Chains A and B, each alone.
Chain A
């Protein structure tokens, strides 16, 4: 070659012109009421709060703050619907409603994706390709179970529990609603769903879809509000079951509050997932998997692979490639179809990420932060990797719930397992190796609910998901997901 040899080839230097999805597809209303007994109503105290677009801090809509009285109405409506309609509806009939909801989600997928991205800050590529299709897939999957509960392994004629109170987080708003509602409805329960304070909009759009599907009034009720609304739901005597996804701290409070009641409980809480990389891992796919494991959804993923345990013999090479790949991530407007990493969901979450990363530097870890330009408005955090992290650092122990990866090393499989298990959490782990026998050896010894081999952050409605220890209990998804909503 006569070409002059450059010292460096910038990755992704072909600039992509902005390719934004249109925000007008969302057709948002200026304000939303509570969805109780099949219709939208104003909250009894007339209290409201705003929900922001975290990418630019603009107000998207005003949403009702449900009071204790509103929660009571919702639970009563759910009870009525359970006793008069839903418990008398056959499995085959229930499945028709679920299929209908699934199809309507698919029909309105683009609108739902835009709403999700506006309200949450996640890249449109992810809401379009992952959140919304998976939400529809969950309804499709559990629609299939509704008339086959006798064959699910829980006895010949398993009974529903009754009224389920469901509290969901802000990281996958519609998907978490689908994870909760689909198995509950398939099993014959009625629901009161409480979406997260910062991301209520897609659940309210789902309420419209439930109306379109002509789901009987009261079978699903959606109450928006802050933590007090969730607390009212947890404490309500008319609720038979609480399903909660969120932080370990709140999960602990909920468990204390339901301890003296008849309520059943499933908790899906935090995590500090270990992604274990052996020297024979398929290196290019492993780097992509590690990147996806921590920067997917800005790291707002309870099962995020936030700890990278890499075999010492390849640690330098892995870190070099990792940092190069981090630099290449396209951070910015979540509505742009080419964006890889979007906005942090809230100011509070951003403050927590900043606090913990500052601590990481103080503890002596080496910090690599992407040089990407961050927008002036909105909540943003540049993708960050910490190397030279040790097991005792806060950034190796606490859930950061942001785009921050901590890299540790190990020498032997035993050490990898010991380090991975040395955590109060136990939600998910990843193992990267071309050697199947070693992958199985390691997987058998990891204390985590989900273990991925040569991949990370893959979800499917047929596969159960959930944690052990401080990551919670109960499973969502698959046949196992039915158990949480059946009287077994």
Chain B
């Protein structure tokens, strides 16, 4: 016994509606920018965290899990950002990025390797024209405490060394003290320096503290030209969390609906397990929808996550766990 589903909603009337033409507002003054950002809807922290927790209870099983693990692998920005990084370590990372499990060629490559600017040239020479991008943090990563000239030089050097993607940090000092114009213009300048290279703008949400700030910084970065907005550097105590990712996904969804331009989201820092990765994919699926379920628009900035994905992938196939040592450490 079922009711006749009366459909007054056309197929195109739901989902995220993205206009074909791009119409991002031109920002001409700090006053205008401030008015735009403060007009954004507030975020209710309790409700937001409840929604994120509820989505985390989704149960991902069987073929969905298999597909989601492969998707997650293809979304990884395999990262090493240590003072002690060596060319050898980066070579190893590149090999792993290309063939995460050398014994199983059905495992997809990851999206990119992410290194400091001085190791970009080495990563580029190892990867050559392989379908794995070279991403580099720049703009005085991770603190961003340098002059704009130094930041732009940092970006240009990384690009000259062969970087495909630039992960910049916003000036949190400027943003938090209300100098929105300064934070915005830096992003515009870096975007200008990037040219065709992909620009990911790191908000460092752990330092922005409130969800309202995260929403405003997301819009500020997108208006400034970000191709991706990214949660964190991984260098502070609070990194990516599911509620923060939810706010940022809502921001890219609303921005796409308003302007027609689709911006990606990268979550970084502290994501170590397949279970965590599944939670983020569910968030993407149910907040922005299918369009964003691609490495072009969603990334995980992580290092140890990849091995857990590989382990769970093998477990799904063999029915039993293998030892962690079955996979290379770097």
| A interface residues, Cβ below 8 angstroms from B | 1, 3, 5-19, 125, 129, 280-286, 288-289, 323-324, 327-328, 337-338, 347, 350, 354, 357, 361, 366-372, 374-382, 434, 454-455
Contacts and interface: CB of A to CB of B under 8 A. Distances in A.
B206 to A, nearest CB: 21
B18 A366 contact: no
Contacts of A7: 12, 17-18, 20
A3 B291 CA distance: 10
Nearest to A340: B54
Given A14-B281, A284-B41, A284-B43, 20 more contacts: A3-B296, A5-B262, A6-B291, A7-B17, A14-B290, A16-B58, A17-B61, A19-B59, A125-B57, A129-B57, A286-B44, A286-B47, A323-B9, A323-B14, A324-B14, A366-B8, A372-B5, A374-B2, A376-B2, A382-B5
A9 B260 CA distance: 12
5 contacts: A5-B18, A9-B15, A337-B57, A350-B3, A434-B42
B35 interface: no
A337 B59 contact: yes
A354 B5 CA distance: 11
- Interface-centre pick from A3, A285, A375 (highest chain B CB count, 10 A): A285
Contacts of B288: 9, 11
Given A5-B20, A382-B5, A282 B44 contact: yes
Contact of B6 (A8, A11, A327, A369): A369
Nearest to B62: A17
Contacts of A377: 1
Nearest to B1: A379
User: Shortest 3 CB-CB distances between A and B: which pairs?
Assistant: A285-B47, A19-B59, A9-B289
A8 B16 contact: yes
A9 B64 contact: no
B235 interface: no
Contact of A16 (B16, B59, B291): B59
B5 A374 contact: yes
Interface string B32-62: 0000000001111011101100000111111
- Interface-centre pick from B2, B14, B68, B286 (highest chain A CB count, 10 A): B14
Contacts of A371: 5, 7, 9
Interface string B286-325: 1111111100110000000000000000000000000000
Contacts of B46: 285, 454-455
Interface string B1-31: 1110111110011111110100000000000
Contacts of B14: 11, 323-324, 327-328
Given A5-B18, A376-B2, A381-B3, A327 B9 contact: yes
B164 interface: no
Given A15-B64, A16-B64, A129-B57, A284 B48 contact: yes
Given A16-B58, A284-B250, A455 B47 contact: yes
Contacts of A286: 44, 47
A282 B41 contact: yes
A372 B61 CA distance: 21
A15 B289 CA distance: 11
Interface of B: 1-3, 5-9, 12-18, 20, 41-44, 46-48, 50-51, 57-65, 68, 227, 250, 253, 256, 260-262, 281-282, 285-293, 296-297
A10 B289 contact: yes
A344 B50 CA distance: 26
Contacts of A370: 5
Contacts of A366: 8
Nearest to A371: B7
A295 to B, nearest CB: 13
Contacts of A324: 14-16
A288 B18 contact: no
A289 B46 CA distance: 11
B3 A14 contact: no
Contacts of B282: 14
A3 B289 CA distance: 16
Contacts of B41: 280-284
B43 to A, nearest CB: 6
Contact of A13 (B50, B51, B57, B290): B290
Nearest to A317: B41
Given A283-B41, A338-B58, A434-B42, A369 B64 contact: no
B296 A1 contact: yes
A13 B1 contact: no
A176 to B, nearest CB: 23
Contacts of A285: 43-44, 46-48, 51
Contacts of A328: 14, 286
Contacts of A1: 227, 261-262, 296
Contacts of A434: 42, 44
Contact of B286 (A11, A378, A380): A11
A454 B44 contact: yes
Contacts of B281: 14
B5 A9 contact: no
A327 B256 CA distance: 20
Nearest to A14: B285
A344 to B, nearest CB: 10
Contacts of A284: 41, 43, 47-48, 51, 250
A328 B296 CA distance: 24
B7 A11 contact: no
Nearest to A327: B14
Contacts of B13: 323
Contact of A380 (B2, B8, B289, B297): B2
B17 A382 contact: no
A328 B60 CA distance: 17
A439 to B, nearest CB: 12
B283 to A, nearest CB: 11
Contacts of A12: 285-286, 289
Contacts of A357: 3
Contacts of B286: 11-12, 328
Contacts of A347: 1
B18 A9 contact: yes
A9 B51 contact: no
- Interface-centre pick from A12, A281, A289, A378 (highest chain B CB count, 10 A): A12
A13 B46 CA distance: 27
A5 B260 contact: yes
Nearest to A354: B3
Nearest to B71: A14
A374 B6 CA distance: 13
A188 to B, nearest CB: 37
A20 B1 CA distance: 22
Contacts of B42: 280, 282, 434
